Amino acid sequence: MKKITIYSLAILLVFSFVVSCKKKVEEAPPPPPLEPVQEEQPVVEEQPVVEEVVEEPVVEEPVLTEEEIFLQKTLDEMNAEAPLQMIHFDFDKYFIRDDAKPFLEANAEWLQKFDAITILIEGHCDERGTEEYNLALGEKRAKSTLDYLESLGISADRIKIISHGKSQPIDLEHNEDSWQKNRRAQFKIIGK
């Protein structure tokens, strides 16, 4: 009898458990899905980038003048461009020839535009003079070039002169053409 009691109690217990379980299942809300946060990407709200629009003053790209561009260069770069044209002289002479005057006028104009530039005028001679006399003659050529530029309004304070005599020919031939090329006053920018 005792055995029957135990069995029946057990059955009852099981039954009651099943009933109670059934009840629970019905009553409980659906279990939250397992770790849904980890599997799903967080929802990012797609938003346009918003920036404040401010009316800024128009920045003018500094449009450099030709002058300013030139003045930014180094002296070597300037001289490589040779903005000042050399002039030539007659044999044994140092006066400014008529054909040299337009060049000097252009040079003076340029010097007026670039009024901070200082220059060196080098006087040169051809090989048909002695070393000693040519040094003096080259200086005369540089000086008369300076004087002419001064007469065109260029301050002599901006100009230095030097003579190289015949020591620096630009043409090494020995004929009238090359001699003419070598009898010259040439310009070098030495300050800005």
CB of 121 to other proteins, least distance (A): 10
Q: Rank residues 96 and 137 by Cβ distance to other proteins and give the closer one.
A: 137
64: Cβ–Cβ under 8 A, 6 or more apart, which residues? 72
> Which range binds other proteins by CB under 8 A, 19-27, 54-62, 79-87, 124-132?
124-132
Report 47-76 residues binding other proteins (CB under 8 A): none
**Edge-first strand listing for the sheet containing 118-124:** 87-88, 184-191, 118-124, 159-165
How many of the other CB atoms lie within 10 Å of CB of 77?
11
**Least distance in angstroms from the C-beta of 130 to other proteins:** 4
35 dihedral zone (left: phi>0; alpha: psi -120 to 50; beta) = left
- In the set 78, 87, 161, 185, which binds other proteins (CB under 8 A)? 161
Residues that bind other proteins (CB under 8 A): 92, 120, 127-133, 135-140, 142-143, 146, 160-164, 167, 190
